[in-house]
């Protein structure tokens, strides 16, 4: 895609609302000068911040919205008629109307997904969407999906997730035929839920031209980067994501505590400071902030609600990169290729 990229921002989303959103937009704009914004929020809260960041104000079109979706709103509450005038709905709607190329919000995840499904609809042949996360690994980065959108998935949906995850890896990293694994409790073909085993049989027996299926992977394979794409359903995926984030914080706290224990440990920290800075950079969740809603007729990015401006900037830049690399078209092409080919029927094992 050529020309500027327009990002629709829900300025009221997240724990710190407009302050984080405008600050993040300023950082992203500095790094991507051809970026433009269409922003939705309460003018009294947003306007002073835009005045403080004239470069963002100049690159933005602002729309006032009286309603904000709260972080504790249920999806059903967010979909009520009044909420469709909210900053979150309007930001998603901007993608539908073509006013923006991608939507980014740090707001309520359930509400954002419900609104995105109703407003944008799912792609043909996709029953339910997925949230894909970029996962730091020993080899670099992998894509893990689903991390919370769909609780439970049949074999067809898991295969669709694999195809979409492969398209995302190609868009992000230029890997022509990404490796894919199904998250399971063991690598043996007899282990795991029948839906997972059936998805594995389907991908083994079908010529998956867009991906390289490598079989089952276990939990420790995710951090190792054994495959480029790890596929699971949203319940186990969300638990894995939260556990990884918590473990990273736990290790960071252990290190800080150890470095403060004695004058020798503090001296050791000073001598190895560059190594610790590199470790902190690798473990910083803001560097991989942003989950992508895959399977919709449009691109929506969910930022962590508690992120800072740097983290929000990462989510904005992720949306920019996905549009620039034509992610949506890659997904549509791969799904069409898969669903129009001769996919073998895989009966359940008796």
HEC readout, 253-296: HHHHHHHCCCHHHHHHHHHCHHHHHHHHHHHCHHHHCCEEEECE
Determine the Cα–Cα distance for residues 133 and 140; give it in Å rounded to an integer. Answer: 14
Task: Mark the ranges of the chain whose per-residue pLDDT is less than 50.
Answer: 345-350
**Amino acid 150: pLDDT:** 84
Is the CB of residue 150 less than 8 Å from the CB of residue 327? no
3-state helix, strand, coil in the chain (%, to 5): 50, 15, 30
| Fold equal for 1-120 and 132-287+327-350 | yes
Spell out the domain ranges in the chain.
1-120, 132-287+327-350
Three-class SS of residue 231? strand
**Amino acid 250: pLDDT:** 79
Distance of CA 47 to the CA centre of its chain: 28
**Amino acid 319: pLDDT:** 94
Q: Could you tell me which CATH class the domain 132-287+327-350 is placed in?
A: alpha beta
**Amino acid 343: pLDDT:** 52
**Amino acid 76: pLDDT:** 83
Determine the Cα–Cα distance for residues 290 and 132; give it in Å rounded to an integer. Answer: 9
**Amino acid 346: pLDDT:** 47
State pLDDT tens for residues 154-208: 999 999 999 999 999 998 888 989 999 999 998 888 888 899 999 999 998 887 7
Q: Which positions ≥6 away from 83 have C-beta within 8 Å?
A: 67, 69, 73, 77, 89, 111, 115
**Amino acid 232: pLDDT:** 94
Q: What is the pTM of this model?
A: 0.85
Determine the Cα–Cα distance for residues 199 and 126; give it in Å rounded to an integer. Answer: 15
Query: Which CATH architecture best describes the domain 1-120?
Result: 3-Layer(aba) Sandwich (3.40)
**Amino acid 348: pLDDT:** 47
From residue 207, give the alpha-carbon distance in Å to each of 291, 338, 342, 347. 29, 9, 9, 18
Q: In 43-154, which residue ranges form alpha helices assigned H by DSSP?
A: 43-52, 54-58, 75-78, 87-97, 109-120
């Amino acid at each position: 895609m050529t020309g500027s990229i327009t990002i629709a921002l829900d300025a009221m989303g997240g724990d710190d609302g407009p302050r984080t959103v405008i600050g993040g937009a300023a950082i992203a704009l500095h790094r991507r000068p051809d970026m433009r914004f269409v922003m939705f929020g309460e003018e009294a809260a947003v306007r002073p911040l835009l005045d403080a960041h004239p470069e963002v104000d100049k690159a933005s079109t602002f729309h006032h919205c009286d309603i904000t979706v709260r972080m504790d709103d249920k999806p059903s509450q967010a979909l009520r008629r009044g909420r469709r005038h909210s900053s979150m709905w309007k930001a998603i709607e901007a993608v539908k109307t073509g006013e923006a190329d991608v939507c980014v919000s740090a707001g309520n995840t359930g509400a954002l997904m419900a609104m995105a499904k109703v407003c944008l609809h799912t792609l043909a042949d996709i029953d339910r969407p997925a949230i894909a996360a970029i996962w730091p690994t020993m080899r670099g980065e992998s894509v893990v999906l689903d991390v919370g959108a769909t609780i439970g998935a049949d074999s067809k949906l898991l295969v669709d997730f694999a195809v979409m995850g492969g398209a995302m890896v190609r868009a992000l990293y230029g890997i022509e035929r990404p490796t894919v694994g199904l998250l399971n409790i063991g690598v043996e073909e007899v282990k795991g839920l029948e839906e997972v085993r059936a998805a594995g049989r389907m991908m083994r027996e079908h010529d998956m031209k867009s991906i390289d299926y490598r079989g089952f992977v276990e939990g420790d394979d995710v951090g190792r980067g054994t495959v480029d794409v790890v596929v699971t359903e949203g319940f186990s995926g969300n638990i894995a994501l939260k556990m990884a984030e918590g473990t990273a914080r736990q290790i960071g706290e252990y290190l800080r505590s150890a470095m403060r224990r004695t004058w020798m440990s503090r001296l050791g920290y000073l001598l190895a400071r560059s190594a610790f800075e590199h470790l902190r950079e690798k473990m910083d969740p803001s560097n991989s902030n942003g989950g992508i809603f895959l399977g919709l007729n449009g691109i929506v990015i969910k930022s962590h609600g508690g992120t800072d401006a740097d983290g929000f900037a990462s989510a904005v830049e992720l949306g920019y990169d996905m549009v620039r690399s034509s992610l949506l078209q890659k997904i549509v092409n791969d799904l069409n290729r898969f669903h129009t080919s001769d996919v073998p029927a895989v009966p359940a094992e008796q």
